[in-house]
Amino acid sequence: MLLNRIVLRNFRNYIDCEVDFPQSVNLIVGGNAQGKTSLLEAIYFLCTAESHRATHDAELIRHHESGFYLKGTLRNGRNDIVSLEALKRTRGQFTLKKNGILQTKRSEWIGQFNAVFFSPESLILVKGGPSERRRFLDLLISQINSEYLKNLQKYNLVLKQRNELLKQIRATSTSITQLDAWNKLLVMHGTAVIVKRLEIFDQLKDFAIANYLKLVGAQESLALTYRPAVMPGDMLTRNSDIDKVAKHFNTSLNASREADLQRGSTSVGPHRDDFLIELVREPKRTTAHNHREHNESDPQETEIFREVARSYGSQGQQRTIALALKLAELELIRHLTGKDPIVLLDDVTSELDDRRIKYLLQVLQNLSAQTFITTTDAEPLLYYLKQPSVLTVENANISYTIGVHSASE
């Protein structure tokens, strides 16, 4: 799927802007606060029906305006044209249209037009709390599997109702037996969420570790471990039996009942899951001769050093991990859907060294993914890019730059 054109009206700092994208690689150049990020945000919003940074849709409306409007024209591999529209009024519902037909639910939108967004803020995947990593997984899987999104939405609704009931039981004489019905629903939908997360995470992990090794060389590796709240992580695999997970979830839920009643909230379930990111270093070997002189079972010879990246990783290591995860997201979407998602890179290359920039851009161009890259300086990137479109953004106005040279020239 390729984005041919986008229209922005009263979106962020854009008043009325229309821009075409004739090439698959688009380099968007401009100073800070000129509208580069907002352009990428608009593209992402059309693809996923949500912003990568705004909490509420109203935040996207230009100051003192009554609403925003976005329209994108996309073309698939068969040259079929798809029109996407998004409209939000300050007072009024948010609406989405595909080829002029109103879409009643956001959940039906997600997954039709996949996108991967990578920005300096993506570092929060490594440095942030569990909710950031869950959100990353949830959006990734939702783009791949619509059934997962349905189960996740039902789980969150049941979780909300169960928490309300816990508060009522604590405050009044409401019967505790009413929890049983909500527990059953929570386990049913929550188990479906956990099992699908495990399946996708196991594949994501392989892609991420492979990318990290290519980015840093052989001196260290990456370990990713899913941490479920309902049972020990070492008891789960991508092929975990759904009945086994449901049994452990139900047991954990019953065991935490008293604590949940005191707290007024549910303490176990996929809404509390996380995944651990660790840097792995093997001990240095001196020579093969020295190694043979030591006992093979000597722990000093076999120990592998693992450090939690969030606490002990350097800024450069954490940034590389975030990049490896985002590249893994891109490759996994392509692997499971057979389609390249739109890739949005917001000021990422300014924080990467030449080696990582080269690898990143090579991966993107080898996958033929339509790519949008923002930067304040085009020259360092033009060396690696083949026939990019170069667009200049100034005060939310976009123009094409003529006379640039790329790697293909």
> Tell me: the pLDDT tens digits for 78-95?
778 999 999 988 887 889
Nearest to 139 by CA among 98, 169, 106, 182: 106
Nearest to 70 by CA among 48, 89, 91, 46: 46
Nearest to 308 by CA among 120, 125, 122, 126: 126
Nearest to 59 by CA among 41, 46, 72, 71: 41
CA within 13 Å, CB half, 139: 21
Beta strands in 43-98 (DSSP E): 67-75, 81-89, 94-98
Q: What is the pLDDT along the chain (409 residues), one digit of tens a residue?
A: 789 999 999 999 999 999 999 888 999 999 999 999 999 999 999 998 888 887 788 888 999 889 999 999 998 767 789 999 999 888 878 899 999 999 888 778 888 889 999 988 889 999 999 999 999 999 999 999 989 999 999 999 999 999 999 999 988 877 888 899 999 999 999 999 999 999 999 999 999 999 999 888 767 889 999 999 887 655 665 566 788 899 999 999 999 999 999 999 999 999 999 999 999 876 655 444 444 444 444 444 444 567 788 888 888 889 899 999 999 999 999 999 988 899 999 988 877 888 888 888 888 888 778 999 999 988 888 888 888 899 999 999 999 875 455 555 5
Which pLDDT score is estimated for 57? 81
Q: List pLDDT tens digits, range 179-197.
A: 999 999 999 999 999 999 9
205/329 Cα distance (integer angstroms): 10
Beta bridge partners of 307: 279
Strands 67-75 and 101-103: unpaired
Tell me the whole-structure pTM to 2 decimals: 0.87
Q: According to CATH, where is 1.20.1050.90 located in the chain?
A: 122-338
Q: According to CATH, where is 3.40.50.300 located in the chain?
A: 1-114+339-409
Which pLDDT score is estimated for 366? 81
Tokens of 263: 């707290």
178/137 Cα distance (integer angstroms): 32
Tell me the CATH number for domain 122-338. 1.20.1050.90
Q: Does domain 1-114+339-409 have CATH number 3.40.50.300?
A: yes
